[in-house]
Amino acid sequence: MNKYLISLTFCIFFVSSCASVEVTTNNVENEKESPFEIDENQKFLDFLEADWEKTLTNNPLFATYTGDKRFNDKINPNTIDQFEKDRLSDFESLKKLNSINSDKLNPDNKLNYNLKKFDIESDLNLSQFPIYYLRLNQRGGIQSFYETGNRLVYQSKKDYYDWLNRLNQFSDNILNFLEINKQGLQNGYTQPKLVTQGVISQIDAIINSDINSNPYLKVFIDADETLLSQNEKLELINDAKELIINKINPAYIKLNNFLKNDYLVNSRDTIGIKDIPDGKKYYEQLAKHYTTTDLTPDEIHEIGLREIQRIRAEMEEIIDSVNWDGDFESFLNYLRTSPRFYYDNPDDLFDAYLIMSKTIDPLLPKLFNIFPRAPYGVIPIPAESAPFTTTAYYNSPSPGRPGYFYANLYKPDSRPKYEIPVLTVHEAVPGHHFQISLAQELENVPTFRKYQGITAFVEGWGLYSEELGEYINLYDDPYDKFGQLTYDMWRAIRLVVDTGMHYKDWTRDDAINLFIENSAKSILDIENEVDRYIAWPGQALAYKIGQLKILELRSKAEKELGEKYDIKDFHDEVLKRGSLPLDLLEYYIDEWINQTLNS
């Protein structure tokens, strides 16, 4: 399992309860270090270096994302045997880590130690379950590997040939995936039928496409002609076509036939993960790892219900302010159906996202002292996956490549204008691009810290950033403000419907209806969102839980610091260490408050 942050869309990040994370405040600058203490720090640094090397060796695609091209012609194996080897390797790493006396580490290494231990234990907590049976996902996976190639940076002729070599191995992964799901079906581990149907549709689109428009050909058709001669580019295109026709498509056809004729027919009609073996226990662990808390699914469900009530009251105030002559339901229907809130074509929608991102950029000095060096861009979600995925997502920068805010342009009549400001602050700046880029640009930290993506922190910051639009007057229009509240409501509803479907007895219609009754999101968006939660249990819990903790800490800082409080200093303090479990974030904010008071 890839434990590091590559993409917020296609990688599932696992973080467990951090109750065991221990923080110490010893100021060793005033202590006299013994040779033993120096040796213990070096022992730990040697461990981190060896462990990072193992990570890159075992995850060649991730290595490429970090700019390390030593394994550039290899792909990650996806067999059950490899999963078990990775689990055993994590046990070995934990054993070596536990042999280090953390009490003898300096303050920086104490934090590094706690985060590394948290990281390994998180993976082990998840890998006790056979999650390899649950990788079928309509939002990304075996059917969209071509998107990986589209995200890579091609700086030489060799980079293109390396990608071709990777594709040459990929048909084995497709067939491995087929065998894993056969075994899962036999053992009672399947995804719901609606997930399978989405994957089948996407594979159909690939194998039925004209060879010249096959998505696996795109990298070579778009290849940089300053790096390749005309003959070399043509040779690559012809080799890729042959590979698609003779290896990739035949493997996809075998997988698709199995999915259509066996898996779909015999997989479960239910939608909740509780209906697989040990499903409730699995979901309880998912709730811990995505929120980094010990909150139970029932407690999270209740938090969601309270947040819905609070946000609904704010929405009612907006409706009163625009003198709407009707009830809440009629106002939502107006927002979903009035042409004034929608663009007629994808190009205009895309331009609106571009304009909004560049409107926000010069306003950010009001909120931050420190800015990322990495640039970002706005690009469309690929047409092949756009009908099956959500409104937007972010993909982090890598060496030679900016971060990208991906916007969904499919059916612009379902993408309201009042969502554009709030969506941009979440996915671009000051949301994901700000937080993730600053983490990758951290100095004097072990490399794993730059890529560690703890979902409650990452997505909690993204949702928190939506509220920051208030500070830069992004929601002056009441409909834009209603859009921000709609997105806040969306994440509150997530807490209720995710726990409802996976831990209680909620149906898909129950989840959809709660959205329809309380948010202005379009029906298409709502259905895609609910289907996302069905395919990816637990992940949706991270956003609101993380946001509430950051808001709680900001409120505490404002109250205790008084005139010494500066929101820019607070944001710098939140982001300066990269991604953290929520209780560790709270520890450092409390420490900062005390230091500021005493300064």
Q: Is the pTM of this model over 0.95?
A: no
- Residue 400: predicted pLDDT: 85
Euclidean distance between CA atoms 217 and 242, whole angstroms: 10
Q: How many CA atoms lie within 13 A of 287 on its CB side?
A: 24
- Residue 38: predicted pLDDT: 56
Euclidean distance between CA atoms 47 and 33, whole angstroms: 21
- Residue 212: predicted pLDDT: 96
Quote the distance between the C-alpha of residue 230 and its chain's center: 38
Helical spans, DSSP H, in 188-278: 193-207, 218-221, 230-243, 249-258, 264-266
- Residue 11: predicted pLDDT: 34
In a structure prediction context, what are the per-residue pLDDT tens digits for the chain, which is 599 residues long? 444 433 333 332 223 333 333 333 333 334 444 554 458 999 999 999 999 999 999 999 999 999 999 999 999 999 999 999 999 999 999 999 999 999 999 999 999 999 999 999 999 999 999 999 999 999 889 999 999 999 999 999 999 999 999 999 999 999 999 999 999 999 999 999 999 999 999 999 999 999 999 999 999 999 999 999 999 999 999 999 999 999 999 999 999 999 999 999 999 999 999 999 999 999 999 999 999 999 999 999 999 999 999 999 999 999 999 999 999 999 999 999 999 999 999 999 999 999 999 999 999 999 999 999 999 999 999 887 888 888 899 999 988 899 999 999 999 999 999 999 999 999 999 999 999 999 999 999 999 999 999 999 999 999 999 999 999 999 999 999 999 999 999 999 999 999 999 999 999 999 999 999 999 988 988 999 999 999 999 999 999 999 999 999 999 999 999 999 999 999 999 999 999 999 999 999 999 999 999 98
| Dihedral sign for Cα atoms in the order 87, 92, 96, 98 | positive
Q: What is the tens place of the pLDDT at every residue in 265-321?
A: 999 999 999 999 999 999 999 999 999 999 999 999 999 999 999 999 999 999 999
Quote the distance between the C-alpha of residue 128 and its chain's center: 22
Rg for the chain, CA atoms, rounded: 24
Beta-carbon count within 10 A of 283 CB:
22
Beta-carbon count within 10 A of 412 CB:
19
- Residue 514: predicted pLDDT: 98
Peptide bond into 430 cis (omega under 30): yes
- Residue 312: predicted pLDDT: 98
Euclidean distance between CA atoms 488 and 106, whole angstroms: 40
- Residue 306: predicted pLDDT: 98
Q: What is the tens place of the pLDDT at every residue in 491-537?
A: 999 999 999 999 999 999 999 999 999 999 889 889 999 999 999 99
Euclidean distance between CA atoms 567 and 571, whole angstroms: 6
Instruction: Read off the DSSP letter of residue 380.
Output: E
485 is written with which tokens? Answer: 């509240």
Say if residues 150 and 226 touch (Cβ distance below 8 Å). no
Residue boundaries of the structural domains of the chain: 31-273, 282-546
Question: Which residue type does 163 have?
Answer: W
List residues bridging with 5 in a β-sheet. Answer: none
List residues bridging with 4 in a β-sheet. Answer: 452
Nearest Cα residue to 491 out of 312, 307, 332: 307
Question: Which residue type does 333 have?
Answer: N
Q: Which phi and psi (to 5°) does residue 390 adopt?
A: -90, -170
Euclidean distance between CA atoms 72 and 59, whole angstroms: 10
Only one residue has tokens 């004209």, namely 210
Strand order, beta sheet including 376-380 = 376-380, 403-407, 392-395
Q: Which phi and psi (to 5°) does residue 452 adopt?
A: -70, 125
Q: How many CA atoms lie within 13 A of 111 on its CB side?
A: 20
Give one DSSP letter per residue of 136-175, joined into a string: --TTSSGGGTHHHHHHS---SHHHHHHHHHHHHHHHHHHH
List residues bridging with 378 in a β-sheet. Answer: 405
524 is written with which tokens? Answer: 């298409």
Question: Could you tell me whether strands 392-395 and 376-380 are parallel, antiparallel, or unpaired per DSSP bridges?
Answer: unpaired
Q: How many CA atoms lie within 13 A of 478 on its CB side?
A: 13
- CA torsion angle for 253, 258, 259, 261 (degrees, to 10)? 110
- Residue 31: predicted pLDDT: 41
Euclidean distance between CA atoms 586 and 463, whole angstroms: 18
Only one residue has tokens 């290494």, namely 109
Residue environment code for 114-126, b if the CB has 16+ CB neighbours within 10 A, otherwise e = bbbbbbbbbbbbb
Query: Residue 420: helix, strand or coil by DSSP?
Result: helix
3-state helix, strand, coil in the chain (%, to 5): 70, 5, 30
